[in-house]
Amino acid sequence: MDHDTVTQAMQPDESPELRALYKGFRDNHLDPLWTQTGDLMPMYPKSEAIPHVWKWSTLLPLAEASGDLVPVGRGGERRAIGLANPGLGGRPYVSPTLWAAIQYLGPRETAPEHRHAQNAFRFVVEGEGVWTVVNGDPVRMSRGDLLLTPGWCFHGHHNDRDAPMTWLDGLDIPFSHQMDVGFFEFGADRVTDYATPNFSRSERLWCHPGLRPLSQLHETVASPIGAYRWEHTDRALTEQLLLEDEGHPATFGQGHAGIRYFNPTTGGDVMPTIRCEFHRLREGTQTSVRNDVGSSVFQVFEGRGTVVLGGSAQKLEKGDLFVVPSWVGWSLEAETQFDLFRFSDAPIMERLGFMRNQVGGV
């Protein structure tokens, strides 16, 4: 039996009684399963979200134009431009669970402090000069860094330089909005500390490999690390490829290095709803097609290559972003050494028992 004809199979014959029944349903806020389309319980995930690529060469000028035209401050809170998945009806959701936005902060500007139940991170594809202040701890933002502002931490941003800065914001806003879990609180209109240290206090406490402070021995729901620095990420990837060259198991796949950012108090994901990873492909590497439950967003950090999304190939350059909706097949091919940041909702899928993966397609 073809699934598309499923719901037809059981349709009752038209009659006055049936019309009365259906009116009774409507009048009483009821909705019979047998009139639902097959989409409610599909054979496999068929997201309304669709695969899509956003070009950095398009995004950046629009962000810059926003900087000229749109103020930043209390109220709007952030000059953030959300990637709106073309399949999701105009909502500012890059996928059903994830928010991805380009945030732009002009010279000497401040984005005021607030906090929310939603988990957030920033990833910096280029630029420098902004500090994010998380619960009073100023965190430098530089190229290649991942910065965390987990749920219910106060945070604001300020630009200490005469040049603007643009970066990627990732949050679980769509998930939080649809699941009704959001809380929000305003903080200081300015950031609470305009210091510009090279390293945040969280890094100074936590970023020593394999060592944790005796004063902080409890498990925390999100990572206590405020910034994961590019220097470390780059070195980790470099070492994996060198180890592969030397004949030792280290890479995720042949020619494919990868790290997952983790919460040192648990060994698990950095935040309960968002996984963050960084992938590096050697020039010429082509990955197998994968299908994963849940959605991912990638941003090209460096290099050139191609992504095949649901069978359709697209060229990618530095800064380009793409979304992979649930169960859409994806693979990468590297034209040069190819570096990509990735974030996803995989922790949701794994913690709730829904994760499935398929490698090599069908």
What residues between 285 and 324 interact with a second copy by CB under 8 A?
Answer: 293-295
Q: Cβ 13 to a second copy, closest distance in Å?
A: 8
* CA 148 and chain centroid, separation: 12
Rule CB under 8 A: say whether 343 interacts with a second copy. Answer: no
Q: Among candidates 274, 269, 324, which has minimal Cα distance to 295?
A: 324
Rule CB under 8 A: say whether 162 interacts with a second copy. Answer: no
Q: How far apart are CA 88 and CA 92, in angstroms?
A: 8
Rule CB under 8 A: say whether 120 interacts with a second copy. Answer: no
How many residues contact a second copy, by CB under 8 A? 148
Write phi, then psi, for 118 (nearest 5 degrees).
Answer: -65, 140
How far apart, in Å, do the first and last CA atoms of the chain sit? 21
| Torsion sign, CA atoms 3, 308, 287, 172 | negative
Q: Checking DSSP bridges between strand 165-171 and strand 99-105, what pairing results, if any?
A: antiparallel
- Contact map string, positions 170 to 209, toward a second copy, x by CB under 8 A: ---x-xxxxxxxxxxxx--------------x--xxxxxx
The helix/strand/coil state of 85 is coil
Q: Cβ 202 to a second copy, closest distance in Å?
A: 10
Q: Cβ 163 to a second copy, closest distance in Å?
A: 21
Rule CB under 8 A: say whether 89 interacts with a second copy. Answer: no
Given candidates 142, 265, 285, 291, which one binds a second copy under the rule CB under 8 A?
A: 265
Quick one: which segment of 56-64, 158-166, 307-315, 329-337 binds a second copy (CB under 8 A)? 56-64
Q: How far apart are CA 202 and CA 134, in angstroms?
A: 10
Contacts of 227 (CB under 8 A, 6+ apart): 139, 140, 141, 145, 146, 147, 148, 199, 200, 202, 203
Rule CB under 8 A: say whether 140 interacts with a second copy. Answer: no
- Choice between 129 and 223, CB closer to a second copy: 223
Given candidates 37, 86, 311, 315, which one binds a second copy under the rule CB under 8 A?
A: 86
